[in-house]
Amino acid sequence: MFSHRLRYFGFALVLMPAALVAQFSSSSSLFADAAGGGVVRGGPVVQSSEGSGRPFSRFAIGGTISPMGPGGQLTAYVNNHFNVRATGSVFNYSTSFTPNGFPATATLNMATAQIAGDIYPFHKGFRISPGLMMYNGNQLAASSALPGGTSFTLNGSTYYSATANPFTGATPLSASALLGLHSNKPALTLTAGWGNTIPRNGHWSFPFEAGAAFIGSPSLTANLSGWACYDQAQTQCTNVASITNPLAVQIQSDLNAQIAKWKGDLDPLKTFPLVSFGVAYSFGRSATVR
Protein backbone atom coordinates (compact mmCIF):
# COMPACT_ATOMS: atom_id res chain seq x y z
CA MET A 1 0.00 0.00 0.00
CA PHE A 2 2.87 2.36 0.89
CA SER A 3 4.63 1.71 -2.43
CA HIS A 4 1.35 2.32 -4.29
CA ARG A 5 0.93 5.71 -2.60
CA LEU A 6 4.57 6.53 -3.27
CA ARG A 7 4.09 5.83 -6.99
CA TYR A 8 0.93 7.95 -6.97
CA PHE A 9 2.80 10.81 -5.29
CA GLY A 10 5.62 10.60 -7.80
CA PHE A 11 3.16 10.62 -10.67
CA ALA A 12 1.52 13.73 -9.19
CA LEU A 13 4.89 15.47 -8.98
CA VAL A 14 5.50 14.74 -12.65
CA LEU A 15 2.13 16.17 -13.69
CA MET A 16 2.23 19.18 -11.39
CA PRO A 17 4.51 21.40 -13.56
CA ALA A 18 2.40 20.74 -16.62
CA ALA A 19 -0.77 21.52 -14.71
CA LEU A 20 0.69 24.76 -13.39
CA VAL A 21 1.78 25.83 -16.86
CA ALA A 22 -1.66 25.08 -18.26
CA GLN A 23 -3.34 26.99 -15.44
CA PHE A 24 -0.99 29.95 -15.91
CA SER A 25 -1.65 30.01 -19.67
CA SER A 26 -5.38 29.87 -19.12
CA SER A 27 -5.22 32.67 -16.55
CA SER A 28 -3.07 34.82 -18.84
CA SER A 29 -5.55 34.37 -21.67
CA LEU A 30 -8.43 35.35 -19.45
CA PHE A 31 -6.61 38.45 -18.22
CA ALA A 32 -5.79 39.40 -21.79
CA ASP A 33 -9.47 39.05 -22.81
CA ALA A 34 -10.46 41.21 -19.88
CA ALA A 35 -7.92 43.90 -20.77
CA GLY A 36 -9.12 43.94 -24.37
CA GLY A 37 -12.74 44.32 -23.38
CA GLY A 38 -13.58 40.71 -24.11
CA VAL A 39 -15.82 38.48 -22.02
CA VAL A 40 -14.08 36.55 -19.28
CA ARG A 41 -15.24 32.92 -19.29
CA GLY A 42 -15.07 30.63 -16.28
CA GLY A 43 -13.18 27.37 -16.40
CA PRO A 44 -14.92 24.16 -17.42
CA VAL A 45 -16.87 22.09 -14.92
CA VAL A 46 -14.83 19.03 -14.01
CA GLN A 47 -16.38 15.97 -12.38
CA SER A 48 -14.53 14.86 -9.27
CA SER A 49 -13.05 11.40 -9.00
CA GLU A 50 -15.47 8.50 -8.50
CA GLY A 51 -16.45 8.01 -4.86
CA SER A 52 -15.45 11.53 -3.75
CA GLY A 53 -17.80 14.37 -3.06
CA ARG A 54 -19.15 16.78 -0.54
CA PRO A 55 -20.17 15.47 2.89
CA PHE A 56 -23.68 13.99 2.81
CA SER A 57 -23.77 14.10 -0.99
CA ARG A 58 -24.35 10.34 -1.17
CA PHE A 59 -26.55 7.95 0.81
CA ALA A 60 -27.28 4.25 0.95
CA ILE A 61 -30.23 2.24 2.21
CA GLY A 62 -30.21 -1.46 2.89
CA GLY A 63 -31.30 -4.44 4.93
CA THR A 64 -29.46 -6.60 7.44
CA ILE A 65 -29.82 -9.93 9.20
CA SER A 66 -28.19 -10.56 12.59
CA PRO A 67 -28.79 -12.26 15.96
CA MET A 68 -30.83 -9.15 16.80
CA GLY A 69 -33.18 -10.07 13.95
CA PRO A 70 -33.86 -8.56 10.53
CA GLY A 71 -33.33 -4.84 10.24
CA GLY A 72 -32.62 -1.85 8.05
CA GLN A 73 -29.84 0.68 7.75
CA LEU A 74 -29.21 4.16 6.37
CA THR A 75 -25.69 5.34 5.58
CA ALA A 76 -24.46 8.86 4.82
CA TYR A 77 -21.17 9.61 3.05
CA VAL A 78 -18.83 12.03 4.85
CA ASN A 79 -15.54 11.50 3.02
CA ASN A 80 -13.59 8.70 1.38
CA HIS A 81 -12.53 7.34 4.76
CA PHE A 82 -15.64 7.89 6.86
CA ASN A 83 -19.40 7.21 6.75
CA VAL A 84 -22.14 7.66 9.33
CA ARG A 85 -24.57 4.74 9.61
CA ALA A 86 -27.84 4.23 11.50
CA THR A 87 -29.34 0.75 11.92
CA GLY A 88 -32.40 -0.72 13.57
CA SER A 89 -33.84 -4.19 14.02
CA VAL A 90 -36.96 -5.86 15.45
CA PHE A 91 -37.50 -9.53 16.17
CA ASN A 92 -39.90 -11.63 18.27
CA TYR A 93 -39.71 -15.33 18.97
CA SER A 94 -41.69 -17.68 21.21
CA THR A 95 -40.36 -20.94 22.60
CA SER A 96 -40.68 -23.33 25.53
CA PHE A 97 -38.14 -24.94 27.83
CA THR A 98 -37.99 -26.52 31.30
CA PRO A 99 -35.41 -24.98 33.64
CA ASN A 100 -35.16 -26.71 37.03
CA GLY A 101 -38.45 -28.50 36.49
CA PHE A 102 -40.48 -25.41 35.54
CA PRO A 103 -42.28 -25.98 32.20
CA ALA A 104 -41.88 -22.44 30.90
CA THR A 105 -43.33 -20.65 27.91
CA ALA A 106 -41.09 -17.76 26.88
CA THR A 107 -41.20 -14.86 24.45
CA LEU A 108 -37.99 -13.25 23.23
CA ASN A 109 -38.44 -9.61 22.22
CA MET A 110 -35.56 -7.97 20.35
CA ALA A 111 -35.62 -4.30 19.37
CA THR A 112 -32.57 -2.09 18.89
CA ALA A 113 -31.51 1.18 17.28
CA GLN A 114 -27.83 2.00 16.75
CA ILE A 115 -25.62 4.68 15.24
CA ALA A 116 -22.02 4.06 14.20
CA GLY A 117 -19.15 5.68 12.38
CA ASP A 118 -17.62 3.53 9.64
CA ILE A 119 -13.89 4.22 9.43
CA TYR A 120 -12.01 2.94 6.35
CA PRO A 121 -8.33 3.29 7.30
CA PHE A 122 -6.93 1.70 4.15
CA HIS A 123 -9.21 3.29 1.55
CA LYS A 124 -10.52 -0.20 0.83
CA GLY A 125 -13.47 -2.32 1.96
CA PHE A 126 -12.15 -3.07 5.48
CA ARG A 127 -13.72 -0.93 8.17
CA ILE A 128 -13.79 -0.35 11.93
CA SER A 129 -17.09 0.88 13.31
CA PRO A 130 -17.37 2.27 16.85
CA GLY A 131 -20.86 3.31 17.84
CA LEU A 132 -23.70 3.53 20.34
CA MET A 133 -26.78 1.38 20.83
CA MET A 134 -29.16 4.23 21.53
CA TYR A 135 -32.20 2.02 22.15
CA ASN A 136 -32.21 -1.53 23.47
CA GLY A 137 -35.45 -3.32 24.26
CA ASN A 138 -34.00 -6.84 24.24
CA GLN A 139 -35.62 -9.04 26.88
CA LEU A 140 -36.97 -12.51 27.54
CA ALA A 141 -40.25 -12.94 29.45
CA ALA A 142 -41.23 -16.38 30.71
CA SER A 143 -44.12 -17.85 32.68
CA SER A 144 -44.78 -21.31 34.10
CA ALA A 145 -47.71 -23.14 35.70
CA LEU A 146 -46.80 -26.33 37.58
CA PRO A 147 -49.57 -28.95 37.93
CA GLY A 148 -50.10 -30.25 41.44
CA GLY A 149 -47.52 -32.84 42.43
CA THR A 150 -44.90 -31.61 39.92
CA SER A 151 -41.38 -31.44 41.39
CA PHE A 152 -38.96 -28.53 40.90
CA THR A 153 -35.56 -27.60 42.28
CA LEU A 154 -34.19 -24.34 43.66
CA ASN A 155 -30.60 -24.02 44.76
CA GLY A 156 -30.28 -27.81 44.85
CA SER A 157 -33.37 -28.36 47.02
CA THR A 158 -36.39 -30.25 45.66
CA TYR A 159 -39.94 -29.07 46.28
CA TYR A 160 -43.40 -29.96 44.91
CA SER A 161 -46.24 -27.90 43.55
CA ALA A 162 -49.31 -28.25 45.75
CA THR A 163 -52.53 -29.85 44.54
CA ALA A 164 -55.54 -27.56 44.64
CA ASN A 165 -57.40 -27.92 47.93
CA PRO A 166 -60.51 -25.77 48.62
CA PHE A 167 -60.38 -26.52 52.37
CA THR A 168 -56.84 -25.23 52.91
CA GLY A 169 -56.92 -22.71 50.07
CA ALA A 170 -53.93 -24.38 48.41
CA THR A 171 -53.36 -23.71 44.70
CA PRO A 172 -50.75 -25.12 42.33
CA LEU A 173 -47.55 -23.14 42.02
CA SER A 174 -46.93 -20.65 39.19
CA ALA A 175 -43.81 -18.71 38.28
CA SER A 176 -42.76 -15.75 36.15
CA ALA A 177 -39.37 -14.41 35.15
CA LEU A 178 -37.96 -11.49 33.17
CA LEU A 179 -34.47 -11.40 31.68
CA GLY A 180 -33.27 -7.98 30.54
CA LEU A 181 -30.36 -7.48 28.15
CA HIS A 182 -30.08 -3.71 28.41
CA SER A 183 -28.34 -2.65 31.62
CA ASN A 184 -26.19 -0.04 29.84
CA LYS A 185 -28.24 2.69 28.15
CA PRO A 186 -26.85 3.70 25.75
CA ALA A 187 -24.43 0.84 25.18
CA LEU A 188 -21.09 1.08 23.40
CA THR A 189 -20.65 -1.05 20.28
CA LEU A 190 -17.55 -1.95 18.32
CA THR A 191 -17.44 -3.97 15.12
CA ALA A 192 -15.09 -4.63 12.25
CA GLY A 193 -16.13 -5.71 8.81
CA TRP A 194 -15.78 -5.61 5.07
CA GLY A 195 -17.76 -3.77 2.44
CA ASN A 196 -18.52 -0.09 2.00
CA THR A 197 -22.27 0.52 1.79
CA ILE A 198 -21.38 3.53 -0.39
CA PRO A 199 -18.89 1.96 -2.81
CA ARG A 200 -16.56 4.05 -4.93
CA ASN A 201 -17.75 2.20 -8.02
CA GLY A 202 -21.30 1.02 -8.58
CA HIS A 203 -24.32 1.15 -6.34
CA TRP A 204 -24.79 -2.29 -4.78
CA SER A 205 -22.81 -3.62 -1.83
CA PHE A 206 -22.97 -6.67 0.42
CA PRO A 207 -21.38 -5.66 3.74
CA PHE A 208 -20.44 -7.95 6.60
CA GLU A 209 -19.42 -7.07 10.15
CA ALA A 210 -18.75 -8.77 13.48
CA GLY A 211 -18.10 -7.40 16.93
CA ALA A 212 -19.86 -6.81 20.23
CA ALA A 213 -22.26 -4.56 22.09
CA PHE A 214 -21.27 -3.82 25.69
CA ILE A 215 -24.79 -3.97 27.11
CA GLY A 216 -23.84 -4.58 30.76
CA SER A 217 -24.65 -7.50 33.03
CA PRO A 218 -28.08 -9.02 32.31
CA SER A 219 -30.82 -8.31 34.83
CA LEU A 220 -33.03 -11.16 36.04
CA THR A 221 -36.11 -11.20 38.24
CA ALA A 222 -38.26 -14.21 39.12
CA ASN A 223 -41.37 -14.60 41.25
CA LEU A 224 -43.35 -17.53 42.66
CA SER A 225 -47.00 -17.58 43.63
CA GLY A 226 -49.28 -20.31 44.94
CA TRP A 227 -48.48 -23.18 47.26
CA ALA A 228 -45.50 -25.50 47.44
CA CYS A 229 -44.79 -28.58 49.49
CA TYR A 230 -41.68 -29.99 51.10
CA ASP A 231 -42.60 -33.60 50.36
CA GLN A 232 -44.36 -35.45 47.55
CA ALA A 233 -47.02 -36.71 49.99
CA GLN A 234 -47.85 -33.03 50.56
CA THR A 235 -47.90 -33.24 54.34
CA GLN A 236 -45.91 -30.00 54.67
CA CYS A 237 -47.23 -27.26 52.37
CA THR A 238 -47.34 -23.48 52.50
CA ASN A 239 -48.24 -20.40 50.59
CA VAL A 240 -44.85 -19.30 49.25
CA ALA A 241 -45.79 -15.64 49.85
CA SER A 242 -45.86 -16.17 53.60
CA ILE A 243 -43.20 -14.29 55.52
CA THR A 244 -43.65 -16.25 58.75
CA ASN A 245 -43.85 -19.88 57.63
CA PRO A 246 -40.35 -21.42 57.83
CA LEU A 247 -40.90 -23.48 54.68
CA ALA A 248 -41.99 -20.42 52.68
CA VAL A 249 -38.99 -18.45 53.98
CA GLN A 250 -36.68 -21.30 52.93
CA ILE A 251 -38.24 -21.50 49.44
CA GLN A 252 -37.81 -17.74 48.91
CA SER A 253 -34.20 -17.95 50.13
CA ASP A 254 -33.46 -20.79 47.72
CA LEU A 255 -35.15 -18.82 44.93
CA ASN A 256 -32.87 -15.82 45.52
CA ALA A 257 -29.81 -18.07 45.57
CA GLN A 258 -30.95 -19.73 42.33
CA ILE A 259 -31.42 -16.33 40.66
CA ALA A 260 -27.86 -15.39 41.67
CA LYS A 261 -26.56 -18.59 40.04
CA TRP A 262 -28.53 -17.98 36.86
CA LYS A 263 -27.23 -14.40 36.68
CA GLY A 264 -23.68 -15.71 37.04
CA ASP A 265 -24.26 -18.12 34.15
CA LEU A 266 -25.66 -15.28 32.02
CA ASP A 267 -22.96 -12.75 32.90
CA PRO A 268 -20.94 -13.40 29.69
CA LEU A 269 -23.86 -11.85 27.78
CA LYS A 270 -22.83 -8.42 29.08
CA THR A 271 -20.65 -8.45 25.96
CA PHE A 272 -23.34 -9.31 23.44
CA PRO A 273 -22.05 -10.69 20.12
CA LEU A 274 -22.91 -8.79 16.95
CA VAL A 275 -22.71 -10.48 13.55
CA SER A 276 -24.45 -8.91 10.57
CA PHE A 277 -24.86 -9.63 6.88
CA GLY A 278 -26.50 -7.08 4.62
CA VAL A 279 -27.25 -5.66 1.22
CA ALA A 280 -27.35 -1.96 0.39
CA TYR A 281 -27.98 0.36 -2.54
CA SER A 282 -26.29 3.76 -2.74
CA PHE A 283 -27.50 6.84 -4.55
CA GLY A 284 -26.47 10.47 -4.99
CA ARG A 285 -23.87 12.23 -7.09
CA SER A 286 -20.26 13.15 -6.52
CA ALA A 287 -19.46 16.81 -6.09
CA THR A 288 -18.29 18.99 -8.96
CA VAL A 289 -15.52 21.54 -8.85
CA ARG A 290 -15.12 24.57 -11.06
Tell me how far apart the alpha carbons of residues 191 and 210 are, in angstroms, rounded to a whole number.
5
Is 188 strand, coil or helix? strand
Which of these, 219, 237, 216, 218, lies nearest to 228 by C-alpha position?
237
pLDDT tens-digit series, residues 264-282 = 999 999 999 999 999 999 9
Q: Write down the pLDDT at residue 67.
A: 85
pLDDT tens-digit series, residues 159-192 = 999 999 999 999 999 999 999 999 999 999 999 9
Q: Write down the pLDDT at residue 21.
A: 35
**What residues pair up with 58 in beta bridges, in sequence order?**
284
Q: Is the pTM of this model over 0.85?
A: no
Tell me how far apart the alpha carbons of residues 53 and 39 are, in angstroms, rounded to a whole number.
31
Between residues 209 and 122, the one the model is more confident about: 209
Between residues 129 and 40, the one the model is more confident about: 129
| Domains in the chain: ranges and CATH | 57-289 (2.40.160.170)
Tell me how far apart the alpha carbons of residues 105 and 56 are, in angstroms, rounded to a whole number.
47
pLDDT tens-digit series, residues 132-149 = 999 999 999 999 999 999
pLDDT confidence of 53, banded at 50, 70, 90?
confident
Q: Write down the pLDDT at residue 52.
A: 59
Are 151 and 232 within 8 A, CB to CB? yes
pLDDT of 252 above 50: yes
Q: Which of 29-33, 88-92, 177-181, 282-286 has the lowest mean pLDDT?
A: 29-33
Q: Write down the pLDDT at residue 14.
A: 33
pLDDT of 8 above 60: no
Q: Which of 24-33, 156-165, 262-271 has the lowest mean pLDDT?
A: 24-33
Computed over every residue of the chain, the mean pLDDT equals: 84
Angle at 125 between CA 119 and CA 126, to 5 degrees: 55
Q: Write down the pLDDT at residue 283.
A: 92
Q: What is the DSSP string of 119-165?
A: E-TTSSSEEEEEEEEEEE--EEEEEEEPPTT-EEEETTEEEEEPPPB
Is 89 strand, coil or helix? strand
Is 260 strand, coil or helix? helix
Q: Write down the pLDDT at residue 286.
A: 54
